Amino acid sequence: PRHLLGLADLGPDAIEQILETADAMRQVFDRPVKKFPTLRGRVVVNLFYEPSTRTRTSFELAAKALSADVVNVAVAQSSVVKGESLVDTARTYQALGTDYLVVRHASAGVPHLLARTVQVRVLNAGDGAHEHPTQGLLDLYTIRRRKGRISGLNVLIVGDVLHSRVARSDIWGLRKLGAHVAVAGPSTLMPVGLETLGVRRFDRLDEALEWAEVINVLRIQRERMQRGYLPSLREYRLRWGLTDERLRRLPEDVLIMHPGPANVGVEIDEAVLVDGRSAVAEQVTNGVAVRMAVLYLMAGREGEAG
Ligand code: CP
């Protein structure tokens, strides 16, 4: 596709193609020179209006591994603070020769607006509580590498589903590839209408953990809760946290994930993060290969020479 806006827009074949291409992209890390020439002469701009560690850095590493030139916009030092609009900012980067605009924004729909407005390829790096498609893809990729399949697996998403763009992209991707998906968390942090996506809901975490083969723990997004429900963190951990004590009751072959950054000691304990059943570090590593795959495939025929 010309843009990557969300997994709701992608069919199962397109998702499979990205996961297979990510496998090929991993080979770059075994090479003496860790670069493919595919995007030589192309410009990738990272335009992040919200903080990021993993997504911004891995897009930068992915673009550099494909030999692109990368610009990281420091929004707080840009003309955005003088009042330049989002669309005018994007037009400015188009005029500067941008080929790919990677955008993160607190408002849902911003990447879609830019895709309609500017003549560059737009990649959604997280828009409000809507979608985070490359996180969804790296989660699918990680599950398939660790469990050997996605179809038929029981995947549990725990916590603040309401504010989570990761949960939305994961649900779209997992359902399209045939996984069974369930959620568990406080009723105040559950969106309405999940059942229309074929998602089951558990009212008790311990019952859900008995069902799950993969557990994806979400961050409580306190920065998005000013007007809503802010649980007591101690109570949250006791009822919905993946604690050391709960970890000891989980089977040896369970897979534990968290998109990061984590509120350690609230939704997940330190002992869980470093346990052998956790793929949290691997998720971050896989993010580079998956983002390389997406950039490569979006280059289309122009990228074939590389
Ligand atoms: N998972 C994720 O999007 O992390 P960052 O906010 O650090 O990019």
In this model, does residue 231 exceed pLDDT 80? no
Q: What is the dihedral of CA 247, 252, 253, 257, to 10 degrees?
A: 30
Residues forming CATH 3.40.50.1370 domain(s) in the chain: 7-131+284-303, 133-283
Mutate to test the pocket of ligand 1, among 47, 50, 52 (most ligand atoms within 8 A of CB): 52
Rounded distance between C-alpha atoms, residue 164 and residue 68, angstroms: 31
Contact in structure between 179 and 153 (CB atoms under 8 Å): yes
**Residue ranges lining ligand 1, Cβ < 6 Å:** 52-55, 126, 135, 259-261
From residue 184, alpha-carbon distances to 81, 187, 227 in Å are 40, 9, 22
Q: Give SS3 for 270.
A: helix
- What's the CATH class of domain 133-283? alpha beta
In this model, does residue 206 exceed pLDDT 60? yes
Ligand 1 mean position to 51 CA, how many Å?
A: 8
Ligand 1 mean position to 260 CA, how many Å?
A: 6
Radius of gyration in angstroms for the set of CA atoms belonging to the chain, rounded to a whole number: 19
Q: How confident is the model at residue 1 (pLDDT cuts 50, 70, 90)?
A: confident
What ipTM was estimated for this complex?
A: 0.98
Contact in structure between 154 and 199 (CB atoms under 8 Å): no
Task: Let me know if domain 7-131+284-303 sits in CATH 3.40.50.360.
Answer: no
Q: Which residue has the tokens 């074939």?
A: 304
135 assigned to a ligand binding site: yes
Residue 32, pLDDT score? 84
Q: Which residue has the tokens 């390829």?
A: 121
Ligand 1 mean position to 261 CA, how many Å?
A: 6
> For 97-126, what is each residue's pLDDT tens digit?
999 999 999 999 999 999 999 999 999 999
